[in-house]
Every structure is written in structure tokens, then in C-alpha cells.
């Protein structure tokens, strides 16, 4: 019996703070994917999709522990985008684990310069990790808006069917929107809007982590001691 690709990926990346995993069969992916981004276009032998995300503070804490020890005097923070680079190194380990198990795969990342621009919010939904909230982010039933998609693989192996989480926003009065009732998609997902979501408060990012996501350059200058 072939190894479970989701378990292989989890074992490879969990210590880095990537702690949420979902999967779905290739038929579910192809029903949602636009023309040109379906499995026959990207990886004809694919049979499933595995999606990886990070929730809460684990990823940031792991990143800080590694970079603060990288050369001393916070030298690790001098990279242009240390978080993306750190996540990419973790995803590299998953690539190696899949290859060692004889599972063919193709990896995708939700970065601005990704060569293949997959819709990761759609991937998160079909993999059962969350449902769309009123401010353009997927809301996880435990972590609310305090999580992020980090990578995905098409794999030539069977994967588990997605879970069907309850939609946290169903029946909610939407305190996240405050006095506004005209949501404007992901541009509305400010820290204060996310903080008003009644779901997932225990997973709220640290202040430094929030600052990095919303003003990376200023946060890096501070972390570098500049």
C-alpha cells in the first residue's frame, strides 16, 4: 500500500508551524478550477490535492526561533521576505518526502510571483479548511480568520475526502463589519475587522506577526535593528 501523501507532508512540515491540512479528490478540484488550470493542464496523472496552512502563532514562533539564531544579531531577518523563504524551505522537505515515497507531485504556492496563479481560497474551501467570510477571507471553524494557506500539491495518489465543516458565519450578525454593511472583499480584512470576528480569538496572531503581514518593511526594519 502506498503511503498517505497528506501524512507524509504533515510529518515534513509540522515542526515548522504548518499545522492545518486538507485534501480532496481530483474531480472536486477540476469542477472548481478554471480552464487552463485543471488537472489535465497541470498534471495529467494527478488523483488528488493536498493543501497546507498555518493557524495561530506556531509558524511565526518557529520562524523567529530559527532566524534569531541564524548568524546572531538577527541576521536571519535581512532576507527580503523571510516568512515566504522559511515556508518554502518547509515545503521543500515535503517535496523530498513525497519523492522518496514514489509519489509524483506538483507543488503550488500562494505567493505574488507564483508562476501558476491558483485560487488558494477556492482550494481551501474544496479541501474543507474553511468557508468564505464577509470580508474576503476563509473562516476556519476553530481558528476563525487567524490562519493562512501556505502551499498545495497535486499528487498521483488517492487522498482522503474533505471534511465538511460547519460554516461559522451562518446566522452570525457579522460584528466583523462594524457599522459597514458593504463588504469590499479581501481589502476589508484589516486587523480590526479580523479581531471583531467572534470565532478563533485564541488563535489570534501576535502583535508583531500582525504588523509583519500588514507593514512588512517597517516590521523588518525594527527586527533588523535598523
Q: For 59-95, how does the pLDDT look when each residue is reduced to its tens digit (9 = 90+)?
A: 999 999 988 776 555 667 888 899 999 999 999 999 9
Decide: 135 and 121 in contact? Cβ < 8 Å.
Answer: no
- Please determine, for residue 160, whether its predicted confidence score (pLDDT) is greater than 90: yes
Q: What is the pLDDT of residues 200-219, one digit of tens each?
A: 999 999 999 999 999 999 99
Domain that holds residue 199: 5-224
Q: Which is more confidently placed, 15 or 184? A: 15
Cell of 29: 478540484
Question: What's the structural domain count of the chain?
Answer: 1
pLDDT attached to residue 22: 97
Q: Which residues of 48-74 are buried (b: 16+ CB within 10 A; e: fewer)?
A: bbbbbbbbbbbbbebbbeebeeeeeeb
CATH for 184: 3.40.109
Amino acid at each position: 500500500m502506498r503511503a498517505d501523501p497528506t501524512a507524509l507532508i504533515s510529518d515534513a512540515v509540522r515542526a515548522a508551524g504548518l499545522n492545518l491540512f486538507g485534501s480532496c479528490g481530483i474531480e472536486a478540484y477540476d469542477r472548481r478550477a478554471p480552464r487552463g488550470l485543471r488537472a489535465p493542464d497541470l498534471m495529467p496523472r494527478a488523483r488528488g490535492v493536498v493543501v497546507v496552512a498555518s493557524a495561530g502563532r506556531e509558524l511565526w514562533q518557529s520562524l523567529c526561533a530559527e532566524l534569531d539564531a541564524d548568524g546572531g544579531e538577527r541576521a536571519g531577518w535581512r532576507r527580503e521576505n523571510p516568512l515566504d523563504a522559511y515556508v518554502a524551505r518547509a515545503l521543500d522537505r515535503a517535496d523530498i518526502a513525497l519523492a522518496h515515497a514514489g509519489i509524483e507531485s506538483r507543488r503550488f504556492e500562494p505567493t505574488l510571483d507564483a508562476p501558476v496563479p491558483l485560487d488558494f481560497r477556492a482550494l481551501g474551501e474544496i479541501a474543507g479548511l474553511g468557508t468564505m467570510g464577509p470580508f474576503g477571507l476563509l473562516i476556519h471553524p476553530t481558528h476563525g480568520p487567524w490562519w493562512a494557506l501556505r502551499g498545495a500539491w497535486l499528487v498521483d495518489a488517492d487522498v482522503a475526502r474533505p471534511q465538511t465543516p460547519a460554516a461559522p458565519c451562518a446566522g452570525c450578525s457579522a460584528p466583523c463589519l462594524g457599522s459597514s454593511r458593504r463588504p469590499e472583499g479581501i481589502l476589508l480584512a484589516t486587523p480590526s475587522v479580523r479581531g471583531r470576528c467572534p470565532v478563533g480569538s485564541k488563535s489570534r496572531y501576535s502583535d508583531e506577526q500582525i504588523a509583519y503581514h500588514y507593514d512588512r518593511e517597517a516590521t523588518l526594519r525594527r527586527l533588523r535593528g535598523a
